Structure formats: structure tokens, C-alpha cells
Amino acid sequence: MVRRSAIVLIILLAGCVARAQDPLVEALRFYQAGDLEQARSLIDEAVRTPAHTDNPEAWLLRGFVYKDMFKNATIPDTADRVRDEALNSLHSCLVLDKDSTYRENATQAYEYLTRSCFNDAAKALNEMREERAQMLFAKYKAAVLRADPLAAVKTREVEFTNALGTVYTKRFNQDRTELTWFDKAVAAYRQVLVMDPENYGANYNLATLFYNRGVYNIRNIRADDEIPTILQIQEASREFFQEALPYMLKAHDMNATRRETLLGLEGIYYSLQDQESSDKFRQLFEELPSQEER
């Protein structure tokens, strides 16, 4: 982050027009004094005037005014709006700054704001507010690619989508009759695997999701269920176990000493009535050194 004194010095050294009633000069004076509301009003006026519409230093100052307003905002909707204005203004500065006079400072501020979008998206996921999280991540991705269309965003997208799948899984676990959450979790993990087929978390989580769905169905067979109904439930559960198997095998292949995948494969093969394979993975699990032996 660039301190306020730095931005003030840069603009003054750049030769800001020092006429008494110039709204850019007045905006800078109020910004330096810490009066962000008055600075905002004046800088908004400045960028609408012919003298400053295409002036990169005016857009730089506007970006810093709105960035500081974002940092001070306590209401999420307000913070979102002023952050958007800050990002737009800083991007305008970068586009108009043909001599790269302000590039370093504008870029630092722009990157700070893009990171804040991602961090707020992660926070929203932790709070189980997935719709807000998706909105913020979309803003993060758009802001990064606007600055650099060739920027590598896949790592962040994989990280976010994996976490989104976990949120959907938690919601499904809270109510196993609400299959919308199951479908969304499956779609999220599969989206991760399209981007990163070797992603251990997505493979393991998808396998666990299918396996637990099958187990839940079997455990909910009632004593008064008729034979055809029981057979249908068992067959549907078997299909879930079969769907789980390749993902758990993939996770195991990626790390053959992970205890959770060995136990997962033991349970999947047992549910598929393949006792030999189930025993094999149980034995592999038991042969692993205990936590105390490591």
C-alpha cells in the first residue's frame, strides 16, 4: 500500500495546476487533510471537467480517495461500491498514463484492492455466504484480467472453487434430503478437476461425497420398506459407490500413504461387496506407522 503522503508528493511533483479554484487542487488539499468526503466530492467534479477528464493524475487521486474510503467503510455494500470506484479510477489512470509516471503507485493500489476482493470472497465462504463469495470472486478475477489479460488466475480459481464445493457439501450434510446442495458440490469439484485433474482435494472430496450419499441411503432403509423398494435403494447406493471409486483411487495414486484414502478405499470396496480388495486396503492401512512412530 502507498501512504497518503506519498501520493500527495507524487501529484505535487507532477506539476498539478495550481489555480485557486481548480477542483483537483482542492481535492488534493482536502485529501491531505484527511477529509475524504469533501475530497471525493471535489475529485468527482474534477474528472468531469475538460481539463482533467483525460488527466491520469486526477484519476490516480480519485483512486486513492476511494481506496481510503473503502478501508474506512463498515457496511459491506458501501465497501463494495467504493472499491469498484477505486479500481475503475486506478485502471483509468493506468490507461491514460502514457509515460508511466504514476504506474508504480497506481499498480500497487490496484493490486491491493484486487487482493481485498479475493480475501473478502474467502471470508464470505467461511461465513457460508456463498452467493456473496461468488460475486466477490468474479470481481477479483475480472479486475486481475482487466489489468493483465494474460494473468494466471487458475491457481486462485482452483482454490476458491474447491472451497465453494466444501461449503455446498456442508449444506448438504445439514439436510441430506436437499439434493440441490449435493448437485452443486459435485459440480464444483468437477469444475476443479477440469482445471486441475491432479488436484488431490477435489478427487478425495468428490469420492467422499458419492460414498457418503450411498451410505446415507442404505442407513435410511426402513424396516417396513417393501423388498422392491429396498432393492432399488441398494442399487442406487451401489451406483454411488462405483462413482466414488475412481476418484478415491486417483487420490490414493497421488499419495499412497494417506490414511484417509486407504480407509476410504476399504469402505468403498466393502460396500461394493469386494471383500478381497477391502481387506487389502485395510492391511495397507494397518501397516502404516502410527503417529507415535513417525
pLDDT tens figures, 62-112: 999 999 999 999 999 999 999 999 999 999 999 999 999 999 999 999 999
pLDDT bracket for residue 9 (50, 70, 90): very low
Report the pLDDT averaged over residues 191-216.
95
Q: Where are the alpha helices (DSSP H) in 175-226?
A: 179-195, 200-219
Burial readout 261-273 (b: 16 or more C-beta within 10 A, e: otherwise): bbebbbbbbbbbe
Among residues 145, 7, 26, 38, which one has the least CA distance to residue 87? Answer: 145
Residue 132, pLDDT > 80, answer yes
pLDDT of 53 reads 96
Report the pLDDT averaged over residues 17-26.
74
pLDDT of 1 reads 44
Report the pLDDT averaged over residues 181-190.
97
Residue 241, pLDDT > 70, answer yes
Give the Å distances, CA to CA, from 36 to 17, 24, 40, 269. 21, 13, 6, 64
Contacts 24+ apart (CB under 8 A), 195-199: 195/154, 195/157, 195/158, 195/161, 196/154, 196/158, 198/254, 199/158, 199/162
Backbone angles phi, psi at 240, to 5 degrees: -65, -40
pLDDT per residue as tens digits for the range 273-283: 999 999 999 99
Q: By percentage, how much of the chain surpasses pLDDT 90?
A: 78
HSE-CB at 282 with a 13 A cutoff on CA atoms is: 11
Q: Could you write out the DSSP letters of every residue in 35-87?
A: -HHHHHHHHHHHTTSTTTTT-HHHHHHHHHHHHHHHHH--SHHHHHHHHHHHH
Q: How far apart are the first and last CA of the chain?
A: 44
CATH class of the 1-151 domain in this structure: mainly alpha
pLDDT of 13 reads 40
Residue 230, pLDDT > 70, answer no
Among residues 55, 56, 61, which one has the least CA distance to residue 28? Answer: 61
Q: Residue 4's CB: how many other CB atoms inside 10 A?
A: 14
pLDDT bracket for residue 215 (50, 70, 90): confident
pLDDT bracket for residue 17 (50, 70, 90): very low
